[in-house]
Structure 1
């Protein structure tokens, strides 16, 4: 990646709105704009962190763009930013967030920030669980002396602590409101 800023792709067929979103985000992010689905698929790649995707576009729809992004195995966060009220079809879609227009500057900025925070949190949390699982497997089958004498085990144990600290730091950095916004869907879903 050539830029140290996260890369955001705004996909919106209304040029003025796409440019407005880009302007609102360009202070903190490397922003690209696509006004057609085909153009979006040319621009999105492994360096893309967030895609803001309109559902209703002429030609290739946002739904089709989303499906292609997921089929390519790209690891970016995708938010559907659309005038289309959600219906049951959203249950099978691979987006990370769904927001209905109109949106204002603070809404777009908060959406992107939340998606990036969720991504960082997910990566570190996944690493935390993976590392803890490895340690638990070893600890349940090896004697303490053997564990304490193994450099790789000790390295992994230190890595677990560093990862735990990163997760805790991410949680602390998210203000209470932002943390709830990142995970607001859990409150609305009966598990």
Structure 2
């Protein structure tokens, strides 16, 4: 079982049980039936949130920015019966899926969101390493740096991160992801 914890936020108990039952085959899952309970159950262990948009009390639109404030890198998918309108443009979700959805759609969605998280982490580490390279090269002549083992280690790390990021991008950019998202709509 994966260590990535999924939070299902769904006010319809039957759907909450259905989604969590599917996902528990592969992931640890927490379930919340409203926005307040979602925020109580949300912590650093949560990697993906499946968030219903319309719920009594605090709805998904209100919960989303609070999740982003607590953990910006958490992947959030709106799983909702609400058809998207132009108001979604300013919302900070990672995916927007209209109900009903099937079991295989839920797994594909979560898998892609987790994959995207790894890609984002790699890109961040790559940019950090590149900024160190640029700072050093602006300070020293290349000849001075070429004999430095730490600089050589940095260059090797950059090359490795570039390869990993490229490999992840190839997997992420496949037509299958677009097809999967289209099928969910």
Where structure 1 has 5 or more consecutive residues not aligned to the other structure, the ranges are: 185-191
Where structure 2 has 5 or more consecutive residues not aligned to the other structure, the ranges are: none
1:10 is matched with 8
1:23 is matched with 21
2:114 is matched with 116
1:54 is matched with 52
Instruction: Quote the Cα distance in structure 2 between the aligned partners of 1:143 and 1:183.
Output: 49
Instruction: Quote the Cα distance in structure 1 between the aligned partners of 2:102 and 2:32.
Output: 19
Task: Name the TM-score, length of structure 2 as normaliser.
Answer: 0.87
4+ long deviations beyond 2 Å: 71-75, 136-142, 149-152, 168-184
Instruction: Quote the Cα distance in structure 1 between the aligned partners of 2:53 and 2:170.
Output: 34
Instruction: Quote the Cα distance in structure 1 between the aligned partners of 2:17 and 2:181.
Output: 28
> How many pairs does the alignment contain?
182
Task: Name the TM-score, length of structure 1 as normaliser.
Answer: 0.85
- Deviation track 1:62-89 (CA, whole Å, cap 9, x = no partner) reads 1111121123245311111000111122
Instruction: Quote the Cα distance in structure 1 between the aligned partners of 2:177 and 2:149.
Output: 37
**Secondary structure, in 3 states, of the residue corresponding to 1:8?**
strand
Instruction: Quote the Cα distance in structure 2 between the aligned partners of 1:143 and 1:123.
Output: 31
Deviation at 1:157, TM superposition (A): 1.1
The question of whether the paired residues in 2 share the 8 Å contact of 1:5 and 1:30 is answered with yes
The question of whether the paired residues in 1 share the 8 Å contact of 2:7 and 2:32 is answered with yes
